[in-house]
Amino acid sequence: MFTSTLKPLPRSISMRANMVKPKKISFMKSPIFSIFLLLLCHTHAIAQKPSKVKLVVGIVVDQMRWDYLYRYQNRYGSSGFNRLLKEGFNCQNTYLNYVPSYTAPGHASIYSGTLPAIHGIVGNEWIENNIEQYCAADKTVQSIGGSTKAGEMSPHAMKTTTIGDELRLATNFRSRVYGIALKDRGAIFPAGHSANAAFWFDDSTGNFISSSFYGNELPHWLQHFNAQKWPDTLMQNNWETLYPIVSYTESIADDNEYEYLRKGETTPTFPHKNSPNNYKQIRSLPAGNTLTFQLAKTLINAEELGQKKETDMLCLSLSSTDYIGHAYAPNSVEVEDMYLRLDKDIASFLRYLDYTIGEGNYTIFLSADHGAAHNTSFLNDHKIASGNLAENDVEKELKALMKKTFGSDSIIRAVMNYQIVLDEPFIEKQKLNRATIKNALIIHCQKTEGIAQVIDLENMYQNNIPGFLKEVIANGYYASRCGAIGIIYQPAWYSDGKKGTTHGTWNPYDTHIPLLWYGWGIPQGETFGRVGATDIAATLAALLHIQAPNGCIGNVIEMKK
């Protein structure tokens, strides 16, 4: 054992101390040894810190408004949302910087770091070459593991790479990248073109499926997962509130007139009964989020994500939040209960990552593809101006106008994505004056209640509208997939019925989204500076030391304590 003899005290002091002889003190008990241990431990910690992150997990919560982080915060536990809020980095002022604010463009923009004007995903559906198309539909591929219609999907319509694609390219395709969601578009666009696979839910079978774009058969572990019939297990019990319903003080009364009725129900109230073998129903239950997390854990274990030399990535989208939000609107007991349950699912998932990957070895970001408006009838009942203007009704009215003025209602191909799409082949064949048609449509829409602005999308910067509106509209404009005329609704107006809610506009309730970072490379802190959804991929690229996606326009978020 090392020992050290202290030097004798100065004589003048030692005499006052009755000439006490110096003692021998164990080096291991000395202050010097304590400092030595601290330095040793610090050096060891630095040596043990991984040089690169093992696993990146993106969590996109479909239709999560930013304020849900705080509206229910006192009811969240300490290990879910609050763990991310308190230990991670919070971008408080994150916005979508384009319209329309829908699911497909939201996911594509987050992971590509660019805009619909560049990546081409302008909505969940659009019309191109006068043909209506679903964003992920691809007739050149075959369904793998499920029904034909549900499986004929791929990311072919997206014109840019994603951060996952760039990770694969940077590691000569050794990094593994996967996408998971109940919605096909929520799994496919985040995963990108070169992903190992994307998996989504098939209502007709209750299984997670894929397409031949990714391979010729489902992996054996997924076949085994499907055989366990998790949806049946999760739907055994009816949906009841997690806590006594009287405690849901952040919500309006459970029995109200603003919510849609589920099939077989006479009131939109708890408990909500589940229908056996109705697999579509799990989309509209908190259990749908639980199912998605269960698959994520199974995939991480089976594919050994985060266990090899290169960084892996899992793109996880939670779709049930959107289905429930549409049906019940933000002020409902259902939405509150869903987020309290989601908080527990997130806590469980974080514990799983701590155990399998190791705390400090993974990086998470949590965000949303869009938000949601308050129900319009609810707002009106509280003296806040609001209203509904369904695109189908606008389309009927405009077709009637075209028939009366120009002799045919075929001039209008559709009203969708808050845009008027003309039937260009018909107009050309009939030799009609296109400019006159557009002018008539603009003048009529300007007089329609609920419409604030009408924009000539083909001459966007000649419109007399605020500059920021021109910017977000231009950011969402991809010429071959967009209409000739854009419509901006008044605040708190939207295109849907009087029950539930929807999204799609530029307003903060639709575009202000959460953005939390946590884990490897992430300091604890927050910023109130303006951040765009397109900044997420740029920041990940910088963090991973790889090239940004090939259409990326985002900026790297500066994270400081």
pLDDT in tens, 309-347: 999 999 999 999 999 999 999 999 999 999 999 999 999
Where in the sequence numbering do the catalytic residues fall?
A: 103
Mean pLDDT of the chain: 92
Output the six-digit token pair for 319: 């779709």
Q: What digits encode the pLDDT tens for the residues 166-178?
A: 999 999 999 999 9
At residue 461, the pLDDT reads 80
Which residues belong to CATH 3.40.720.10 in the chain? 55-381+505-544
Q: What number is the average pLDDT over the span 78-92? A: 98
User: Please, which pLDDT band fits residue 276 given cuts at 50, 70 and 90?
Assistant: confident
Arithmetic mean of pLDDT, 207-214: 98
For residue 179, pLDDT over 80 is answered with: yes
Q: Where is average pLDDT lowest: 29-33, 183-187, 381-385, 480-484?
A: 29-33
The tens digit of pLDDT for each residue in 488-545 reads: 999 999 999 999 999 999 999 999 999 999 999 999 999 999 999 999 999 999 999 9
d(CA 493, CA 521): 42
d(CA 422, CA 424): 6
Percent of the chain with pLDDT strictly greater than 70: 91
Residue entry with tokens 């659009």:
126
Q: Tell me, what DSSP letter sits at residue 80?
A: T
Check whether 17 has a pLDDT greater than 80.
Answer: no
pLDDT surpasses 70 at 26: no
Burial class (CB in 10 A: 0-12, 13-18, 19+), 11: exposed
d(CA 528, CA 289): 29
- Give CA–CA dist 302/308, Å, rounded: 13
CA distance 162 to 194: 9
pLDDT for 243-266, tens place per residue? 999 999 999 999 999 999 998 899
pLDDT digits (tens, 9 = 90+) for 430-488: 999 999 999 999 999 999 999 999 999 999 888 888 999 999 999 999 999 999 999 99
Within its chain, how far is the Cα of 343 from the centroid? 15
Over the Cα atoms of the chain, what is R_g? Answer: 28
What is the pTM assigned to this prediction? Answer: 0.91
Residue-level pLDDT at 561: 80
- Report the distance separating Cα 320 and Cα 288, nearest Å: 6
411 closest CA partner among 520, 467, 484, 479: 484
Q: What is the pLDDT of residue 29?
A: 52
Whole-number Å distance between alpha carbons of 309 and 224: 27
How far apart (Å, rounded) are the C-alpha atoms in residues 289 and 516?
Answer: 19
> Which amino acid is it at 30?
S
CATH architecture of 390-448+451-489: 2-Layer Sandwich (3.30)
Tell me 481's DSSP state. Answer: G
Query: How would residue 275 be classed by pLDDT, with cut points 50, 70 and 90?
Result: confident
pLDDT at 7 over 90: no
pLDDT score recorded for residue 14: 37
Q: In this predicted structure, what is the pLDDT of residue 49?
A: 58
CATH of domain 55-381+505-544: 3.40.720.10
Q: What is the pLDDT of residue 240?
A: 98
Structure tokens at 341: 């349950």
Closest CA to 99 of 83, 81, 80, 117: 117
Confidence of residue 20 (pLDDT cuts 50, 70, 90): very low
List alpha helices for 17-155, DSSP H: 31-48, 68-71, 81-87, 103-112, 116-119, 148-151
Model confidence at 398, in pLDDT bands (50, 70, 90)? very high
Q: Where in the chain is the domain with CATH 3.30.1360.150?
A: 390-448+451-489
Q: Coil, strand, or helix at residue 413?
A: strand
**Do residues 17 and 9 lie in contact, with contact meaning Cβ atoms separated by under 8 Å?**
yes
